[in-house]
């Protein structure tokens, strides 16, 4: 039997609530699958840890995480207690950058059983993937401030695009389009009419890479038009490749058309597997509902299936997604954000029951 080690960082707000259900479902899937034993080790890092220790994770945190097969993250953030830039740059971004998780993969898919928000658009229409460059671009962290607090204060934030970083994420997108066998189209999201250095460079690299994939249609679209197309014709998209910032924004828009941000999952991948990859929901810590037991755990469970897929257990991941869809289709517990009244644990239990029925 294969053994997989998973580092779990429940984090802040609803993070511990939803990761608890994801682990519950993963244990059930491992039980019925029988081919892999999942081991979980939890680390109490996040904003509470910061308030006690002055840092978001242990000073040797990265060394500790390095030996795991994967990382499952719940949520990071405690607005009002810890500034967002401190929580982000103290935990999430160091993991992404240190482990070269240069692909942020986010599926935008309307699951069966979820009421769509777009009139006339069903699961067959809303099914695409966004590949977001994850380690540079607008989130490179290059810049500074001078004359702070004076009328002459200046703040500079530089976008950094390298040929290696840009090309490798684009190649990943084209390779994924080949595997998906859907529209065989890669859409590059740009803004080169306004950003005449960084985005013109992005465009040039995109078209150079596209020449190596003559079987895949390569399309360049400005980000404002792409934002409109996500709503007006989502069926046109297959694989989208975007910069760190553009991908971040468009996938939140994508979460809306797939029914709820409580359904939106993400993966931070080091495709070469030199370092562990990290899997997380994209909804954040949601402090307004933290502790109420009503958070939707599906996004975290979906992120866990992405972890299974990446590690080579696609059949196990497909079983979990089928159990999620079956739960949403049946006249049973439904998450609050989808119009139901079921709590977080109740939804997790229902998905486990569906999983057992499907397997048995």
pLDDT band at 141 (very low <50, low <70, confident <90, very high): confident
Active-site residue identified among 68, 102, 139, 313? 139
Nearest to 109 by CA among 123, 93, 119: 123
Domain boundary among 238, 257, 276: 257
pLDDT score at 81: 94
Active-site residue identified among 97, 109, 191, 334? 191
Based on the fold, state whether residues 76 and 167 are members of the same structural domain. no
Report d(CA 185, CA 198) in Å as an integer. 23
Based on the fold, state whether residues 249 and 272 are members of the same structural domain. no
Calculate the alpha carbon distances from 25 to 284, 300, 353 in Å: 21, 10, 9
Based on the fold, state whether residues 225 and 182 are members of the same structural domain. yes
Active-site residue identified among 2, 224, 292, 315? 224
pLDDT score at 22: 98
Based on the fold, state whether residues 246 and 124 are members of the same structural domain. yes
Cβ-contact 239, 176 below 8 angstroms: yes
Residue 112 located in a structural domain? no
Domain boundary among 207, 238, 257: 257
| pLDDT tens, position by position, 54-77 | 999 999 999 999 999 999 999 999
For residue 71, the surrounding DSSP H or E stretch is: strand 70-75
Residue 160 located in a structural domain? yes
Q: Which residues contact 226 (CB under 8 A, 6 or more apart)?
A: 187, 189, 240, 242, 246, 250
Based on the fold, state whether residues 122 and 221 are members of the same structural domain. yes
Instruction: Based on the residue annotation, tell me whether 191 is a catalytic residue of this protein.
Output: yes
pLDDT score at 136: 95
Based on the fold, state whether residues 171 and 82 are members of the same structural domain. no
**Does 1 score more than 80 pLDDT?**
no
Residue 299 located in a structural domain? yes
Instruction: Based on the residue annotation, tell me whether 274 is a catalytic residue of this protein.
Output: no
Q: Is the dihedral of CA 353, 354, 357, 358 positive or negative?
A: negative
| pLDDT tens, position by position, 241-291 | 999 999 999 999 999 999 999 999 999 999 999 999 999 999 999 999 999
Residue 262 located in a structural domain? no
DSSP string, 81-94: TB-HHHHIIIIIHH
The number of folded domains in the chain is 2
Active-site residue identified among 121, 203, 252, 356? 252
> What is the span of the domain harbouring residue 58?
1-101+267-360
| pLDDT tens, position by position, 288-328 | 999 999 999 999 999 999 999 999 999 999 999 999 999 99
pLDDT score at 128: 97
Residue 135 located in a structural domain? yes
Active-site residue identified among 248, 309, 337, 349? 248
**Does 181 score more than 90 pLDDT?**
no
For residue 266, the surrounding DSSP H or E stretch is: strand 265-269
**Does 219 score more than 90 pLDDT?**
yes
Report d(CA 72, CA 17) in Å as an integer. 13
Based on the fold, state whether residues 241 and 122 are members of the same structural domain. yes
Residue 29 located in a structural domain? yes
Nearest to 167 by CA among 130, 197, 198, 210: 210
CATH code at position 298:
3.40.718.10
Report d(CA 221, CA 192) in Å as an integer. 10
Residue 109 located in a structural domain? no
Nearest to 126 by CA among 178, 188, 182: 182
Residue 226 located in a structural domain? yes
Domain boundary among 257, 284, 307: 257
What is the average pLDDT across 104-124? 94
Instruction: Based on the residue annotation, tell me whether 84 is a catalytic residue of this protein.
Output: no
pLDDT score at 116: 87
């Amino acid at each position: 039997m294969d053994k997989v080690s998973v580092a779990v960082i429940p984090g802040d707000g609803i993070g511990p609530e939803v990761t608890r259900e994801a682990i519950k479902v993963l244990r059930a899937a491992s039980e019925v699958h029988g081919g892999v034993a999942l081991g979980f080790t939890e680390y109490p890092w996040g904003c509470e840890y910061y308030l006690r220790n002055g840092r978001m994770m242990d000073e040797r945190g990265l060394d500790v995480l390095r030996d795991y097969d994967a990382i499952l993250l719940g949520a990071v953030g405690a607005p009002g207690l810890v500034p967002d830039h401190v929580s982000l740059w103290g935990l999430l971004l160091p993991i992404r950058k240190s482990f070269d998780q240069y692909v942020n993969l986010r599926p935008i898919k309307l699951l069966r059983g979820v009421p769509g928000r777009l009139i006339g658009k069903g699961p067959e229409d809303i099914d695409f993937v966004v590949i977001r460059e994850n380690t540079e671009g607008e989130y490179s962290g290059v810049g500074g401030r001078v004359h702070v607090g004076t009328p002459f204060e200046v703040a500079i934030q530089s976008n950094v695009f390298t040929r290696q970083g840009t090309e490798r994420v684009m190649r990943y997108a084209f390779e994924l389009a080949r595997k998906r066998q859907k529209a065989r189209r890669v859409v590059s999201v740009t803004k080169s009419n306004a950003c005449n250095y960084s985005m013109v460079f992005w465009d040039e690299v995109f078209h150079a890479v596209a020449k190596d994939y003559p079987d895949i249609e390569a399309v360049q679209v400005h980000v404002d038009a792409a934002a409109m197309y996500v709503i007006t014709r989502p069926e046109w998209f297959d694989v989208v490749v975007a910069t760190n910032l553009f991908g971040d924004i468009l996938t939140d828009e994508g979460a809306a058309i797939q029914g709820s941000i409580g359904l939106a999952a993400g993966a931070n991948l080091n495709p070469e597997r030199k370092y562990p990859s990290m899997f997380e929901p994209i909804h954040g810590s949601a402090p307004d509902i933290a502790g109420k037991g009503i958070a939707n755990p599906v996004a975290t469970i979906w992120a866990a299936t992405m972890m299974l897929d990446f590690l080579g257990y696609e059949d196990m991941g497909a079983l979990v997604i089928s159990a999620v869809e079956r739960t949403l289709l049946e006249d049973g517990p439904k998450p609050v954000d989808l119009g139901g009244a079921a709590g977080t644990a109740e939804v997790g239990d229902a998905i486990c029951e569906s999983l057992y029925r499907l397997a048995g």
